[in-house]
Structures are given as C-alpha cells and as structure tokens.
C-alpha cells in the first residue's frame, strides 16, 4: 500500500514540476517587464502583490488547505463532495470582497508611503476575491487527487496571462505601469473561471453533500486559516518592511532573489500538497505514514541538490543577467544563505505537512506564529544596518529557528524524526560543496567570468546525474 501511495505522491509532484517548467516562458516575459519599467516601479508592484497575497490568504479562511483533509474523509464514507467545495468558495470569496474593500487599501497606503503608481496598485488589489476563489477550488481538486490541474491553475497560474497582457499593453498600446495592474487582475480572473469550470467537471458525479461548511471542517479549517494567514504574513513581511524602510529598488532586488529561492525549493514544495492529501487518506496506519514521510524527504533532498549547486556556482551571474544592477559578491552570498537554510529545513517542513494530514492543525498555527515573530524580529535587527544582505540573513535565520520548533513538534505528536536516515550526511556534503563553489565565484568574478566556479558546478551536477538514477531505482 505504501508503494502505491508513494507513486501517487510522485505523480502529484511531477505535475507540479511540469507546471513550474511551463512557467519559464511567462517568467522570461516578466524579466522584460522588469527591464522596461525598472526596479523602482517593479518594487511597488511586488509590494502591492504582497498585500494581495496576505489579504487573499486571510480571506481563504483556511478552506483551501482544509479541502485537502476534508474531502478525502467525505469520499471515504460515501458522501457528496461537490456542494461542500462550492459553499467554501462562495463564503471565502465574500470575505475576500470585504477584505479588499476594508483592509487591503489601508495596508497598501501603510507599506508604500513613497509610491508613485497608485492606479496600478488599486487594480492589483481588486484581484483578491478572484485569488481567493481559485485557491479554494485548487485545494478541492487536489483533495480528490486531481493533481494534474495544479500545473495550469497554480504553478503556471495567473502569470500565464499577466505577463503577456501587461507586455502587450505596454508595447503595442503605449500603456504605462498601470498595464501591470491590468495584467495581474485579468490573470486572476481567468484562473478563477477556469478553476470553477474544472471543479464542476470533476465533481459532476458527486453532486450532494452539505453546502454550509460543517463543524468538522471549521474545527480543522480555522486553525489552518490562522496558521496560513500568519505564514503568509511572515513570508511577505520582508517585502513589506523593506517597502517601509528602504527604497523601491531594494524591494525589487529582494523580489528577484526570492524568485530564485522559490525555484530552488521547488522540489520540496512539489511534494507538500500531495503529501497532505495522501496522509489524510491513510492516517489510520501510522507505519505507512512513517514510510511515506521518510521516502518523500529523501526524494525531496535528492531533487533539490542540483538546484543548490547551480545557485552556489552561478547565483550572482544569474542575478546580473536579470538586472545589471545586481550580481555583486555580497548579494551572491546573501542569496546562498537563504537557499542553504531552506535546504537544511526540508525534513521539518515536510513533517508539518504530515501533521496537517493527520489532523493536527493547531500545531501548524503555533509553528507559523513563531516563524513570523522570528522573521519580523530578525528583520528589524539586521535590515537597517546591513540592507539587502541583512534581509537575506534574517530570512535564513528565521527559517532555521522555525524548523527547530517544527522538528520538536513532529517528534512529539507524530513520533517521526525531523532529520531521518542519512539526512545530515546529504545536507552537509551538499552545503560544503556549495560553499566551495560560492567561494570560487566570489574570488574570480571580480576579474571576469567565474569559470572555476562554473566548472565546479558542472562537476557537481555530473556527479549528481550519475548518483540520482541509481538512488531512485533503489
């Protein structure tokens, strides 16, 4: 049984990877937009986008994550699943409208005191109800194991429409920065409509069930909602604080670095939603849950390793290609600090998804609250003095502190180790090699192209390419 569940998780993760590969084309178009409007305007857009993500995540009321746990339980007892998802979407969308009207705009004024593109920011904020609806529908689709919709709806998502629309308006119709807001709003509207259509199609054979959210869903969803809201606030706190205390160009630079960070942690994030859903399906058998967790952690480490090596050997070069204003040695070290910390905490991070699948949602709330507090504290301490590099260090330190609490929770409530098997050996070996590559890049990039670092990176990728297939077959 565990082997079959592992295959299903692999398929879900594979669909997520496909979506992010497909996202490469819109990402390139976004780079064109960044070059066209500059880091200042791009920083204002990222700050407005951060407000949407925070308020939108709060407006979801935890329903998007609760669907991963709730719908498998309904299906197991033969109850309908179509109406519960629609009820959750309608309720969350209504809250999203209220949040956009009452909270998003004051938060935007607070975080962007020196903004020059308020028209663009207003259009970005209007996307909150559509973002909320699509997130809940995507959670419902994954709750019934329809992972193949995720590449289009979330990983590719609104960016598939945002960048082409914004670029077309700016190039062919001479629309200014407001084209970013129009493209963002259009993208989220289209994704919300597609999500509703796909859910109606997949749930047509299960039309019954409660339209009003049940007590069980609320008991699970409210702690998840609070935890997810706190987590979203923590993730965006860096951008919002930088918007308050630094120039928009610094915000844009950090946004670029976070994009690279999200790419390197893609393998871990690809396993998260399938792991919650399938743990919820087999939560009565703890030995099977343990086997799944250990194997998923090892797979995630295996697929993240080449991304960490690439970032260590060419991170500064990638930053300079994205923007000529970036790519110094300090920025390279800051980027590697964030990536290394995210790589170290792979086990505890996936362990949190196991706790969510087992129904221990209040544990997530405590962990995320601690993480957000740590993030804000480190930011206020390090950012004023060290700027962009301090923000990177703060993000990394907060990640490590949160993972320590997560590992303790996993051991206490699920009897699972935060760092199973050969975890420490794999992580230590990868980080030592990455440090060597980064040192080579920093030493040679001042006088030209950092060929030694690139050669070391190529050797590391070659060794991984020889080892990984054998490990996966085993």
How buried is 291 (Cβ within 10 angstroms: 0-12 exposed, 13-18 middle, 19+ buried)?
middle
Query: Which of the two residues, 4 and 433, has the higher pLDDT score?
Result: 433
Question: What phi and psi, each to the nearest 5 degrees, are found at residue 420?
Answer: -80, 155
Residue 17 lies in a domain: no
Pair (278, 197) in one structural domain: no
Q: Are residues 115 and 179 in the same domain?
A: yes
250 pLDDT more than 80? no
200/289 same-domain check: no
User: Does the pLDDT value for residue 289 go beyond 70?
Assistant: yes
Assign 429 a pLDDT band (cuts: 50, 70, 90): very high
Alpha-carbon distance of 112 to 105, in angstroms, equals 10
- Whether residue 276 contacts residue 68, with contact meaning beta carbons closer than 8 Å, is answered with yes
Question: Is the separation of the CB atoms in 141 and 202 below 8 Å?
Answer: yes
* Lowest-pLDDT choice from 140-154, 313-327, 385-399, 443-457: 140-154
Q: Flag whether 147 is in a domain.
A: yes
Could you report the per-residue pLDDT of 83-100, keeping only the tens digit for each?
Answer: 788 888 888 888 878 877
The candidate with the shortest Cα–Cα distance to 124, out of 171, 92, 158, 172, is 158
For a pLDDT cut of 90, what percent of the chain falls above it?
9
Other C-beta atoms lying within 10 Å of the C-beta of residue 201: 10
- pLDDT tens column, 185-194: 999 899 999 9
Q: What is the pLDDT of the chain when averaged over all its residues?
A: 79
**Residue of 354 and 96 predicted with greater confidence:** 354
Pair 184, 250 in one domain: no
Task: Assess whether pLDDT exceeds 50 at residue 1.
Answer: no
Specify whether the backbone of 317 is left (phi greater than 0), alpha (psi in -120 to 50) or beta. Answer: alpha
Domain boundary among 213, 228, 262: 213
Range of the domain at 155: 22-213
What's the average model confidence in pLDDT over 202-214? Answer: 70
| Statement to judge: residues 208 and 258 lie in one domain | no
Q: Is residue 474 scored above 60 in pLDDT?
A: no
pLDDT of 17 > 70? The answer is no
What are the pLDDT digits (tens) for 430-468? 999 999 999 999 888 877 788 999 999 999 988 888 877
Give the pLDDT score at 437: 93
Checking if the pLDDT of 2 tops 60, the result is: no
Whether 72 is covered by a domain: the verdict is yes
pLDDT of 248 reads 58
- Of 7-11, 136-140, 440-444, 462-466, the one with minimum mean pLDDT is 7-11
CA-nearest of 172, 170, 188, 189 to 180 is 170
Q: Which two tokens stand for residue 415?
A: 């009897």
Length of the chain: 474
Number of separate domains in the chain: 2
Over the stretch 28-81, which tens digit does the pLDDT of each residue have? 777 788 778 877 788 778 878 878 887 887 788 778 877 877 777 777 666 777
Is the torsion defined by CA of 212, 94, 138, 348 positive or negative?
negative
343 pLDDT higher than 90: yes
1-28: burial string, b at 16+ Cβ within 10 Å, e else: ebeebbebbbebbebbbbbbebbeebee
Look at residue 246 and give its three-state secondary structure: coil
When comparing pLDDT for 398 and 50, which is higher?
A: 398
Q: Token match 């998502």: residue?
A: 157
Q: In percent, how much of the chain has pLDDT > 70?
A: 81
Question: 303-336 burial string, b = 16+ CB within 10 Å, else e?
Answer: bbbbbbbbbbbbbbbbbbebbeebbbeebbbbbb
Report pTM.
0.69
Residue 405: its H or E element: helix 361-414
Structure tokens belonging to residue 235: 């993730």
Instruction: Point out the domain boundary residue: 173, 195, 213.
Output: 213
Residues 276 and 406 occupy one common structural domain: yes
Are both 189 and 246 inside the same structural domain?
Answer: no
Residues 90 and 203 in one domain: yes
């Amino acid at each position: 049984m565990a082997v079959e569940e592992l295959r299903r998780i692999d398929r879900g993760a594979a669909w997520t990877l496909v979506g992010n590969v497909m996202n490469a084309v819109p990402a390139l178009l976004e780079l064109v937009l960044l070059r066209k409007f500059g880091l200042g305007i791009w920083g204002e857009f990222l700050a407005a986008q951060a407000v949407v993500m925070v308020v939108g995540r709060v407006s979801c009321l935890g329903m998007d994550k609760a669907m991963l746990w709730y719908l498998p339980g309904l299906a197991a007892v033969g109850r309908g699943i179509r109406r519960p998802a629609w009820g959750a979407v309608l309720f969350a969308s209504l809250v999203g409208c209220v949040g956009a009207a009452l909270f998003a705009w004051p938060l935007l004024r607070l975080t962007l005191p020196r903004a020059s593109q308020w028209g663009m920011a207003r259009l970005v904020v209007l996307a909150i109800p559509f973002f909320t609806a699509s997130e809940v529908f995507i959670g419902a689709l994954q709750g019934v194991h329809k992972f193949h919709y995720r590449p289009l709806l979330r990983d590719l998502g609104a960016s598939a429409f945002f960048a082409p629309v914004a670029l077309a308006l700016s190039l062919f119709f001479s629309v200014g920065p407001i084209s970013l807001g129009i493209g963002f709003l259009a993208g989220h509207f289209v994704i919300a409509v597609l999500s509703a259509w796909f859910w109606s199609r997949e749930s047509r054979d299960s039309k019954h069930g409660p339209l009003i959210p049940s007590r069980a869903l609320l008991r699970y969803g409210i702690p998840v909602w609070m935890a997810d809201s706190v987590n979203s606030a923590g993730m965006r706190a860096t951008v919002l604080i930088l918007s308050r205390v630094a120039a928009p160009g610094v915000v844009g630079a950090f946004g670029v670095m976070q994009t690279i960070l999200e790419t390197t942690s893609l393998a871990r994030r690809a396993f998260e939603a399938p792991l919650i859903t399938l743990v919820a399906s087999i939560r009565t058998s703890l030995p099977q849950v343990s086997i799944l967790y250990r194997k998923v952690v090892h797979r995630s480490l295996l697929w993240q390793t080449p991304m960490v090596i690439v970032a260590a050997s060419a991170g500064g070069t990638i930053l300079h290609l994205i923007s000529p204003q970036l790519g110094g040695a300090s920025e390279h070290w800051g980027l590697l600090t964030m990536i290394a910390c995210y790589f170290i905490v792979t086990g505890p991070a996936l362990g949190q998804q196991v706790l969510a699948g087992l129904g221990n949602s209040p544990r997530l709330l405590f962990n995320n609250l601690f993480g957000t507090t740590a993030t804000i504290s480190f930011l206020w301490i390090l950012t004023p003095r060290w700027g962009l590099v301090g923000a990177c260090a703060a993000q990394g330190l907060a990640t490590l502190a949160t993972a320590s609490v997560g590992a303790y929770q996993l051991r206490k409530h699920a009897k699972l180790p935060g760092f199973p098997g050969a975890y420490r050996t794999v992580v230590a070996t990868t980080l030592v090699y990455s440090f060597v590559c980064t040192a080579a890049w920093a030493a040679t990039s001042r006088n030209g192209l950092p060929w030694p670092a690139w050669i070391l990176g190529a050797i590391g990728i070659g060794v991984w390419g020889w080892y990984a297939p054998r490990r996966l077959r085993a």
